[in-house]
Structure 1
Amino acid sequence: MTATLIPPVHAAADKPAHRDSNVLRWLGAYTASMVGDNVYYLALSWAAVQAGTPSQAGLVMAVSAVPRALLMLGGGVVADRFGPRRVVIGSDAVRCAAVLTVAALLFAASPGLWLLALLAVLFGTVDAVFMPAVGALPARVTGRDQLARVQGMRGLAIRFANVVGAPLGGLGVALGGAAAAFGLAGLLIAVSVPLLVSVRMRDLPTDVRTDVRTDLPTDVPTDVEVGGEAGPHPMGAAQDTACRATPWQDLRDGLRYLRGHRVLAPLLVAIALGDLGFVGPLNVGLTLLAEQRGWGASGMGWVLSGFGAGAGVAALLLTVRGRLPHAGRVAAASILAGSVAIGALAYAPSLAAAVGTALLVGLLAGLSGALCGALLQTQADPAYLGRVSSVAGIVSLGFAPLSMPLSAAAIGWWGTGPVFVTSATVCGLGGVVVLCSGPLRRAHLPR
């Protein structure tokens, strides 16, 4: 393959991301895909419950997690080798075709649980490639100084998808059953494809960087056009990645890059601890807490709404401001304060106090999550972002869900208070990791 050098592009100034039509097309594609995902999961759960027992339905819903967890590291390699936009477009096209095919089969007949399980496995397999590519894409559609704002916009899109997706799925089920809901999900995912095709990719940055493995500056051009999409120049900071002959070598190189990075390595540890301490209480733990306090389903809904509102405010803050100074220190403070709020949630004296505490948890968790995501985007070499995102995805989607059954069992033994406090301590350790790592504590977002 012939590599064609592209002269570096020096724009006078990047548009703010929320006013950049290129970023807005990406955001539209991402939002449509996320709303489609929410509709798909509701349709899958409804169809599984109708076709089998509750335990069988639970198995169908969980089966997609296996290929996602097992294959995601490989998905990061695929995203870096072929370019994130190409991978996201292909993944969305496959997901759309699979969901629409199942919708057509359900309209024509009742194939049973085997079809739903097959769809779940396929979705999980494609997600293993899709998610790392989604994580690597923002760095290719905007400048480094806008990545924090993009993280805020992405958070708003996720909140919007969570709020709108379930009612849309329910409407589809009400009008035409699971088949109609699957069809709606497929059409929403299909909307993302032409929008992604229209998104322009930026050249990889050419600024002077330091290779974390050698501590030597690498200020040579790093922009190469490979197969129509910008890729790393063999002489840049990602020299080994560009020259590797096999995916296995790419994977090893990416893991070595992460292990030796003075910011990314402790940042991923902090993210893992935060997720492990956060997922259990805010899923299983909150349900059991609402049952014990007599708040009921409506009360739990109000608490979840408080959390969602807080997270939405944090995302809006980053979208409007674009960056916060001293990102490493602010992330550490947010994690530590958020962990205290998580522990306090179990001791809220009333539903109103619990909603207010959940609002604070959402605000602090949303802020720390967005800042950690922005630091991940800005500190990683773009040529490695697919692999970096895949490791972060395994932490969030592979390790963190393990805390849910453990939290449920522990609450049965010791009660909600001690378990929430323990989870808060685990979450707070993430903030301690940030404070103890000098490079991460001093890390800031580019202007």
Structure 2
Amino acid sequence: MTALRTSRGFNAWVAATVGSELGSGILAFALTWTASGIGPQVASAVLTLTVAPSVALGLLGGAVADRFGPRQVMIAGTLGMILISAGIGVSVVLWTPSAILLLVAAALIGTVAAFQRPAVGVFPRLFVSDADLGTAMARVGMASQFARTIAPPAGGLLVGMIALSGVAFVDVVGGVVMLVTLLLIRPPRAHAPAREAMTLRGIVTGVMAARHTSGVPGLLACVAIVAGAVIPAVLLGIPLAARERGWSASDAGLIEAGWIAGGLACGAWFAWRGTAVRAWRPMALGPLIVAVGLGMLAIATDWVVALIGTTLIGVGVVVFTAHVFPTYLLLAPSAMVSRFQALLILVQQAPQLIVSPLIGLFVAMIGAGPVLAVSGLVATLATLIVVTDRTLRTFTTNR
């Protein structure tokens, strides 16, 4: 283990990330909660519209960040979110929240996220050496995960006290703190603008470069497999399994919290101790831990066993992602790093849009247990890819 060598600006940004992510998470909960009061179809549409723009516009978002730099894109995106949140707050004060207002708000938030997320993902690379990138990203991930963990209960409390309009203005405060932080800090590493990035040819070139960069196709396939196998299985499989097995709503909530707790604990370890120099070993181990956790969840008849299973899932996911994400950025050409990051986000989210409805269909046909067990087996394919990829097996970070 070595101490993370970074600047005050990085630490200030991580701290501001907690407030910004917390405000965004509270607002997301409030929007969904308000939409659910109108009808389940509206609530479903709100959730879809916050994800779909990242799939549709993500590659363009990465190209913009490569052209202008991640800090500039984050400043513009944060300013955009401040205006959107303020607009939501004012609109709700003047008019009763309607389905159209909620859907437009969700689409605008999703669109800003499509441009901002690739920039946020590569921003740590401007602060630290390649050897420290994994530790730095673990700290950012832990801060974001902490904020996302406490956002739903905080949102439930605040939406009852100050309504959607008040929650929107809370998000404005978090956005202002982030905007001021971004304007004040200066990363020690400069961004070299890729002037061709925003052209159609530049976007296609980025995708083709990812395809031909050794080790990158394997990592993208692994991320798609793990994201497609785990996230829908946890978010949909747990409540469906709970109803099937007679567990209460509070049991189901505790079981789902297990994967968050496991991920937080594991993320804290990597943020403190650092990530492995030979990243392929934890990258291969992570999906196996996930498979064990999903297997326990598949056969559990007691909620305590299910909780242990979801905790293992959270641990396995973070063991995997804490090494995959920095390795992926280090393999990416410096002039295309944001386009590569956008592609990574795309392969994380696109499988969920396909797998989620399939899980609902197959659970209705054969039950939750077999579906969860198959999801675990699918996750192990990522391990197979890692151990058979020569580039990944020989990749190291020098310390």
Cα deviations by residue, 1:250-281 (Å, 9 ceiling, x for unpaired): 11221121011112121111111111111221
Q: Does the Cα contact within 8 Å between 1:151 and 1:318 map onto a contact in 2?
A: no
Q: State the Cα distance separating 1:248 from its structure 2 match.
A: 1.2
Instruction: Provide TM-score, normalisation by structure 1.
Output: 0.85
Instruction: Provide TM-score, normalisation by structure 2.
Output: 0.94
Q: Does the Cα contact within 8 Å between 1:46 and 1:178 map onto a contact in 2?
A: no
Amino acid at match of 1:140: L
CA distance in 2, matches of 1:133, 1:70: 16
Residue aligning to 2:152: 166
CA distance in 1, matches of 2:386, 2:34: 44
Q: State the Cα distance separating 1:153 from its structure 2 match.
A: 0.9
* Change beyond 3 A, Cα 1:35–1:109: same
Residue aligning to 2:28: 41
Larger radius of gyration: 1
CA distance in 2, matches of 1:321, 1:359: 20
SS at the partner of 1:378?
helix
* Change beyond 3 A, Cα 1:246–1:149: closer
Q: Which moved more, 1:193-202 or 1:367-376?
A: 193-202
Work out which of the residue numbers 131, 134, 142 in structure 2 matches 1:156: 142
Q: Which moved more, 1:150-159 or 1:35-44?
A: 150-159
Residue aligning to 1:26: 13
Amino acid at match of 2:40: P
Residue aligning to 1:416: 368
CA distance in 2, matches of 1:304, 1:102: 30
Amino acid at match of 1:65: V
Verify: 1:310 aligned to 2:298, yes or no. no
Residue aligning to 1:75: 61
CA distance in 1, matches of 2:338, 2:11: 22
* Change beyond 3 A, Cα 1:445–1:400: farther
Q: State the Cα distance separating 1:246 from its structure 2 match.
A: 5.3
Q: State the Cα distance separating 1:111 from its structure 2 match.
A: 5.4
Cα deviations by residue, 1:143-178 (Å, 9 ceiling, x for unpaired): 212111122212211221122212332232122211
Cα deviations by residue, 1:289-327 (Å, 9 ceiling, x for unpaired): 111222211111221222112111110111111221321
Residue aligning to 1:280: 232
Pairs within 5 Å for 1:47-446: 47-50=34-37, 52-110=38-96, 112-203=98-189, 230-231=191-192, 242=194, 244=196, 247-446=199-398
Amino acid at match of 1:446: N
CA distance in 1, matches of 2:384, 2:9: 38
* Change beyond 3 A, Cα 1:199–1:99: same
Residue aligning to 1:214: none
CA distance in 2, matches of 1:292, 1:343: 17
Q: Which moved more, 1:246-255 or 1:99-108?
A: 246-255
* Change beyond 3 A, Cα 1:439–1:414: same
Amino acid at match of 1:424: G
CA distance in 2, matches of 1:136, 1:152: 13
Amino acid at match of 2:378: V
Unaligned residue ranges in structure 2 (runs of 5+): none
Give every structure 1 segment of 4 or more consecutive aligned residues whose post-TM-superposition deviation is greater than 4 Å: none
CA distance in 2, matches of 1:245, 1:383: 9
CA distance in 2, matches of 1:16, 1:22: 14
Residue aligning to 1:225: none
Amino acid at match of 1:387: R
Unaligned residue ranges in structure 1 (runs of 5+): 1-13, 205-229, 233-241
Q: Does the Cα contact within 8 Å between 1:79 and 1:386 map onto a contact in 2?
A: yes
Pairs within 5 Å for 1:1-20: 16-17=4-5, 20=7
Q: Does the Cα contact within 8 Å between 1:254 and 1:384 map onto a contact in 2?
A: yes
Cα deviations by residue, 1:389-435 (Å, 9 ceiling, x for unpaired): 11111111222232111111111111122211211121110111111
SS at the partner of 2:236?
helix
Amino acid at match of 2:222: A
Q: How many residues align?
A: 398
SS at the partner of 2:349?
helix
